[in-house]
């Protein structure tokens, strides 16, 4: 097990290196000049060249990338081209908000997804089952921008239950977490349904029923713990899915996380920020997957880590 973790971490470093290289190449070949974004419209040709030289962007690609890596291994993500602030500081100031949003989203998707999945499994083949499964299709496919604005309009503007965007209290968290959670709940309800159906067919459930246990007891004590474990193991993978979603959701709700930071940086070709956010996101996804893999053997002893 420790050897497995060490090996996985080493591979993770290689993956991060690969991500940094690919992102750097993509930003390098992008037909948009970061210097021009900094220099603005009134800059003379000399000003543009001065800025290019000051930032070292006149150097060959390999030198630029080498410098970036050199900083990276020392924990230096560089300074934003436009804001001049340390990228590490920008990310650190926004990471707590993103983590909080993810936590909220995971709780929301589990609460929604598991409940609906169990209901559908127990009422398999009925109108309720079909309606729920249809709904899961819709939520998985619905654009988050639309879902977010819809929730905002109904629950914040019309009903006044929640604040209209922003950050700070639990009430601020509900709608953005729900927007992300609704997307994930579609997956979870489907997985929970099939997992539950499978378990309900198992011999030990028949035995439990034959013993004369109540239906509620059979479902809650015998079936549910067995059915829910494989589903829970998926949470680690969710982090990757959410990384895409937060960009949109954070923009709609004015949530000061790294998704919003990334989006604004992309608009302005602020390369150090784009690199920093990409690497931090990649790290989150790697750790999430690692976590999912490490938890798996505890849930299902048939899985062995090698």
Binding site for other proteins (CB under 8 A): 30-33, 36-48, 50-51, 53-55, 79-80, 82-85, 89-90, 93-94, 97, 149, 152-153, 156-157, 164-167, 250-257, 260-261, 264, 267-269
Which residue, 233 or 262, has its beta carbon nearer to other proteins?
Answer: 262
Which residue, 43 or 232, has its beta carbon nearer to other proteins?
Answer: 43
Residue 96: CB minimum distance to other proteins, A: 11
Terminal-to-terminal C-alpha distance of the chain: 7
Which residue, 94 or 193, has its beta carbon nearer to other proteins?
Answer: 94
CA distances from 279 to 155, 184, 220, 244 (A): 35, 24, 42, 14
Residue 86: CB minimum distance to other proteins, A: 9
Which residue, 116 or 262, has its beta carbon nearer to other proteins?
Answer: 262
Which residue, 98 or 226, has its beta carbon nearer to other proteins?
Answer: 98
Q: Quick one: DSSP state of residue 207?
A: H
Write out the two tokens for 127: 């109108």
Closest CA to 56 of 86, 35, 31: 35
Which residue, 76 or 89, has its beta carbon nearer to other proteins?
Answer: 89
Write out the two tokens for 143: 């654009």
Q: Which residues, in sequence order, are CB contacts of 142 under 8 Å at separation 6+?
A: 182, 183
**Sign of dihedral through CA atoms 143, 146, 151, 152?**
positive
What phi and psi, each to the nearest 5 degrees, are found at residue 86?
Answer: -60, 130
Give Cα 99 distance to the centre of its chain.
9
Residue 100: CB minimum distance to other proteins, A: 13
What does the alpha-carbon distance between residue 56 and residue 76 come to, in Å, rounded to a whole number?
A: 16
Which residue, 47 or 115, has its beta carbon nearer to other proteins?
Answer: 47
In this structure, the number of other CB atoms found within 10 A of the CB of residue 28 comes to: 12
User: By the 8 A CB rule, do 171 and 253 touch?
Assistant: no
Residue 197: CB minimum distance to other proteins, A: 42
Residue 165: CB minimum distance to other proteins, A: 5
3-state secondary structure of 79: strand
3-state secondary structure of 32: coil
Which residue, 38 or 218, has its beta carbon nearer to other proteins?
Answer: 38
Residue 159: CB minimum distance to other proteins, A: 12
Residue 66: CB minimum distance to other proteins, A: 22
Residue 82: CB minimum distance to other proteins, A: 5
What does the alpha-carbon distance between residue 89 and residue 70 come to, in Å, rounded to a whole number?
A: 19
Closest CA to 98 of 164, 173, 162, 153: 173
């Amino acid at each position: 097990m420790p050897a497995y973790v060490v090996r996985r971490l080493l591979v993770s470093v290689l993956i991060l290196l690969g991500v940094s290289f690919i992102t750097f190449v993509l930003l390098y070949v992008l037909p948009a000049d970061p210097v021009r974004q900094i220099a603005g419209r009134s800059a003379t040709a000399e000003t543009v060249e001065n800025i290019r030289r000051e930032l070292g962007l006149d150097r060959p690609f390999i030198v630029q990338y080498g410098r970036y890596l050199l900083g990276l291994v020392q924990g230096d993500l560089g300074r934003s081209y436009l804001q001049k602030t340390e990228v590490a500081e920008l990310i650190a100031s926004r990471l707590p908000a993103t983590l909080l949003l993810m936590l909220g989203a995971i709780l929301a998707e589990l609460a929604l997804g598991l409940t609906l999945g169990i209901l559908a499994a127990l009422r398999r083949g009925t109108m309720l089952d079909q309606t729920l499964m249809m709904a899961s299709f819709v939520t998985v496919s619905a654009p988050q921008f639309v879902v977010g604005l819809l929730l905002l309009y109904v629950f914040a503007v019309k009903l006044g239950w929640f604040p209209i965007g922003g950050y700070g209290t639990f009430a601020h968290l509900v709608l953005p977490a729900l927007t992300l959670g609704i997307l994930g709940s579609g997956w979870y309800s489907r997985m929970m349904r099939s997992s539950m159906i499978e378990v309900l067919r198992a011999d030990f459930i028949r035995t439990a029923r034959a013993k004369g246990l109540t239906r509620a007891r059979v479902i809650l004590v015998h079936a549910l713990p067995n059915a829910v474990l494989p589903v829970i193991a998926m949470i680690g993978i969710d982090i990757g899915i959410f990384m895409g979603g937060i960009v949109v959701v954070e923009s709609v709700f004015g949530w000061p996380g790294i998704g919003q930071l990334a989006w604004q940086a992309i608009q302005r070709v602020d390369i150090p920020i784009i690199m920093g956010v990409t690497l931090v996101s990649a790290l989150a996804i790697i750790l999430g997957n690692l976590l999912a893999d490490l938890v798996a053997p505890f849930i299902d002893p048939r899985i062995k880590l090698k």
